Amino acid sequence: MLRRKSIVKLAEDECLPEVQRILRERLSQKSVQTQVYGLDSQRRHLLDLMRRCVSMGESNSALVIGPRGSGKTMLLQSVLDEVKSDKIAKENLLQVNLNGLLQTDDRIALKEITRQLQLENTLGDKVFGSFAATLAFLLEALKSGDKTSQPILFVLDEFDLFAHHKNQTLLYNLFDISQSAQTPIAVIGLTCRLDVIELLEKRVKSRFSHRQIHIFSSLTFEEYKEVFVEILSLPKTFPERKFMQQWNQHVKELSEETMTVDVLQRLYHSDKNIRALKSFLLLPVCKLTPDHCQLESTDFLESSQYLTMDSKAAMLHGVSVLELCLIIAMKQLTILYDGDPVNFEMVYNEYQKFVQRKGHSIQCYEKPVVLKAFEHLQALELLKPADGGQRSQKEYRPMTLLVDATQINDALQKYPNCPTEVKQWNTQEVHA
C-alpha cells in the first residue's frame, strides 16, 4: 500500500510542471478558447461568409461588434479553425492581422501587410504614386500563373482606431477591393464601439457591405460551469493518460462542490465573460506545488476574495490611527447632519471630544498635525471637496466622505493592533 502511494506521488510530482505549463498558457491568452457557447447564429453567419470567400472566391466585409471580453476573437478563431480543417482551404487562405493600437497610420499598416504576405523582395525599391497603387501591386503579385488569386483574410482588430487614420485610406482601399471581382478578400473588423459606422466617411460607407455581427454573452450558468471544467481539464494528448483521467475527474467533481458553485455563481452574476473567468482561475493554478498538487474549493474562494476586494476598504488598512479617527469623526458628523458636507473645524472638534475623554490611551495631536492628516486623506481620495472647486479657507472648506460605514467597519476589523477605544467609538450611537 505504501509502495502504491509513493508511485502515485512520484507521478504527480513529475506531471505537475507540465500541468502548470498547459493551464498557464490557456489562462495567459497564448491559446484562444475556441469552444463557442451561446453564439450559434453569429457563428453560422461568420462561417458562411468565410466559406464563400475561400471556396467560391466571393469577396466580402463585416464588422463583429461587442463589449470587451464578450468573445469576438474567440468566435473568429473558432470559425477559422473549422474553415482550415479543409486541407485545400488551409493551404490557399492567406491571413493578415492588423491592430489599430499597433498600426497607427496607413504607412505602418502597409509595411505590416507586406511583411505578413512575405512580399518584401517583390516590392523592393519600387516607388508608387499612391497607397492604392502599392496595395494593388501587392495583391497582383499574389496571383498564380493562371491569373487566379489566393483568397486573403484581413482581420482588423480595434477597427474603430483605423477610422482615425488620415482620409481612412486603408479602409477605403480594402473595402473597394472587396467589392471588385479581381481579388477574393474578406475584411473582418473587430470592435467594441456600437457607433463605429458613424465614424466612417461617406465614400468608405458606400463600399462597406454593412454586415454587422453583434456579440452579447448569453451564457447560461450550466454552460459557464462547462467552460470552467474545459479550461482546467487536461487534453487527451497528455503523456500520462492515467494521471490525465484522474485530474479531469477531480476537476469535474470540484465543479459540483457547494463552495465552488457558490463562488462561480457570484462571479457569473458580476461578470460572465470568459476573460474574467480566466483571470479568476490564474491564482489557483499558480498555487499548485508538490505539497499542494490538486485544486481545492478554498483556492477558488481565496481568488474570489482577491478579485472582489474593495479598494477603498483596503486603503483604510494602511492609514494611521489618527487618520482613522478623523474618518470615524467625519462619519459620525455625516450621520448627525443627515449627509450634509462637514469641514475640518467640525471634524477636529469631534476628534478633540473623543481624545479628551477619561481613561483614553489615544495620543492627542496638535492642530497642524491633524490638519496635515486630514489633507492626506483628501490626497488619497477618501474625502472630496463639496464646493465644486471654489477657493475657500481649507479649515472651513466643506468636504464629503467617500467611504461608507460598511467599509469603515471592515477596515477596523482587519486593522493591525487597532485600539479598542477607536473600535468602540465607531459603534457608538450618534446623538445631536
60-72 mean pLDDT: 87
Specify whether 419 is located in the same domain as 374. Answer: yes
Q: What is the mean pLDDT of the chain?
A: 82
Whether 362 is covered by a domain: the verdict is: yes
Specify whether 72 is located in the same domain as 156. Answer: yes
Write down the pLDDT at residue 148.
62
Write down the pLDDT at residue 24.
86
Specify whether 196 is located in the same domain as 230. Answer: no
Read off the pLDDT of residues 349-402 as tens digits, 9 standing for 90 and up: 988 888 887 666 777 888 899 999 999 998 888 888 887 656 678 888 888 888
Boundaries of domain holding 282: 2-23+220-307
Q: What is the CATH classification number for the domain harbouring 194? A: 3.40.50.300
Share of the chain above pLDDT 70, in %: 88
Residue 315 C-alpha cell reads as 486603503
Specify whether 207 is located in the same domain as 236. Answer: no
**Whose CA is closest to 342, among 353, 354, 329, 355?**
329
Whether 415 is covered by a domain: the verdict is: yes
Q: What is the CATH classification number for the domain harbouring 389? A: 1.10.10.10
* 319, 377 contact by CB (below 8 A): yes
Whether 35 is covered by a domain: the verdict is: no
182-193 mean pLDDT: 87
Among residues 214, 235, 254, the one where a domain terminates is 214
Specify whether 117 is located in the same domain as 193. Answer: yes
Confidence of residue 9 (pLDDT cuts 50, 70, 90): very low
Whether 9 is covered by a domain: the verdict is: yes
Write down the pLDDT at residue 146.
47
Specify whether 103 is located in the same domain as 196. Answer: yes
Among residues 198, 214, 230, the one where a domain terminates is 214
Whether 29 is covered by a domain: the verdict is: no
105-113 mean pLDDT: 86
Whether 287 is covered by a domain: the verdict is: yes
Lowest mean pLDDT among 136-145, 190-199, 273-282: 136-145
| CA distance linking residue 424 with residue 432, whole number of Å | 18
Write down the pLDDT at residue 142.
61
| CA distance linking residue 302 with residue 46, whole number of Å | 39
Judge whether residue 431 has pLDDT over 60: no
Judge whether residue 125 has pLDDT over 70: no
Q: Give the residue, 130 or 403, on which the prediction is more confident.
A: 403
Whether 432 is covered by a domain: the verdict is: no
- Number of folded domains that form the chain: 3
Partners of 328 in the β-ladder: none
Specify whether 289 is located in the same domain as 345. Answer: no
Lowest mean pLDDT among 37-51, 157-171, 386-400: 386-400
Specify whether 59 is located in the same domain as 173. Answer: yes
Confidence of residue 98 (pLDDT cuts 50, 70, 90): very high
Write down the pLDDT at residue 143.
58
Q: Give the residue, 249 or 122, on which the prediction is more confident.
A: 249
Specify whether 294 is located in the same domain as 234. Answer: yes
For the range 396-401, what are the long-range contacts, defined as Cβ-Cβ under 8 Å and sequence gap of 24 or more? 396/343, 396/344, 396/345, 397/343, 397/344, 398/341, 398/342, 398/343, 399/330, 399/341, 399/342, 399/343, 399/344, 400/341, 401/327, 401/330, 401/331, 401/334
Among residues 214, 236, 257, the one where a domain terminates is 214
* 98, 113 contact by CB (below 8 A): yes
By DSSP bridging, strand 212-214 and strand 60-65 are: parallel
Specify whether 286 is located in the same domain as 170. Answer: no
Q: Give the residue, 63 or 363, on which the prediction is more confident.
A: 63
Task: For 20-44, give the DSSP string.
Answer: HHHHHHHHTTSS------S-HHHHH
| CA distance linking residue 108 with residue 359, whole number of Å | 73
Partners of 191 in the β-ladder: 65
Task: For 262-321, give the DSSP string.
Answer: HHHHHHHHH--SHHHHHHHHHHHHHT-BTTB-S--HHHHHHHHHHHT--HHHHHHTTS-H
Specify whether 120 is located in the same domain as 166. Answer: yes
Specify whether 52 is located in the same domain as 182. Answer: yes
